[in-house]
Amino acid sequence: MRNLALPFTLLAAASMMAFTPLAPKPPVRLAGNWTYQAPELVLKGKDKEGKEMELRCSMRDVTLTFEEKANVLTGFSRGGTLRCAGSPERPVTEDPIANAEVHGDSVVFRIGPFVHRGKVTRNRIQGAITSVRQPATGRFEMTRAR
């Protein structure tokens, strides 16, 4: 009987370790450069005659730079191109990143009128876009620049 007690004790100890809560994750750090893509951005509004319209756009190769100082997240966007259906491709204007907040593995920030809400992994952020000015929906993807 004594020989069976040792393996059972080890099994019990191993099972207790399996249920031990893991240490909390360190906070997500966004500081640095990110490559931003918005493959789908749909803006809704009315034309000059008051008729409902929808404009489908995409943004490519924008660089977002985040800076963290004393738990405050700031930054700016630069470069990249905007393409909307029926219009020629044009450069994206440089804009500050405003109201940036990180909560666990979620991030919220604003660039111009567009509010971004996303989930963060170590080198990737994916999420949804809305607008504070007009009805808009979309999605975005970011990868940490190397």
In CATH, the architecture of 32-144 is Beta Barrel (2.40)
Mean residue pLDDT of the chain comes to: 84
Are 84 and 53 spatial neighbours (Cβ–Cβ below 8 Å)? no
| One-character DSSP codes across the chain | -HHHHHHHHHHHHHHHHHTSPPPPPPPP---EEEEEEEEEEEEEEE-TTS-EEEEEEEEEEEEEEEEEETTEEEEEEE--EEEETTS--EEPPPEEEEEEEEETTEEEEEETTEEEEEEE-SSEEEEEEEESSS-EEEEEEEEE--
Q: What percent of the chain has pLDDT over 90?
A: 56
Number of other residues whose CB lies within 10 A of the CB of residue 137: 13
Q: Please state, in angstroms and rounded to a whole number, the distance separating the CA atoms of residues 95 and 82.
A: 14
C-alpha 83: how far from chain center: 21
pLDDT digits (tens, 9 = 90+) for 52-108: 999 999 999 999 999 988 767 899 999 999 999 989 999 999 999 998 988 888 999
Residue 13's pLDDT is 47
What's the pLDDT band for 36 if we cut at 50, 70, 90? very high
Give residue limits of the domains in the chain: 32-144
Q: How large is the average pLDDT for residues 19-27?
A: 54
Pairing of β 72-78 and β 95-103: antiparallel
Q: How large is the average pLDDT for residues 118-133?
A: 93
Ranking 25-29, 31-35, 69-73 by mean pLDDT, the lowest is 25-29
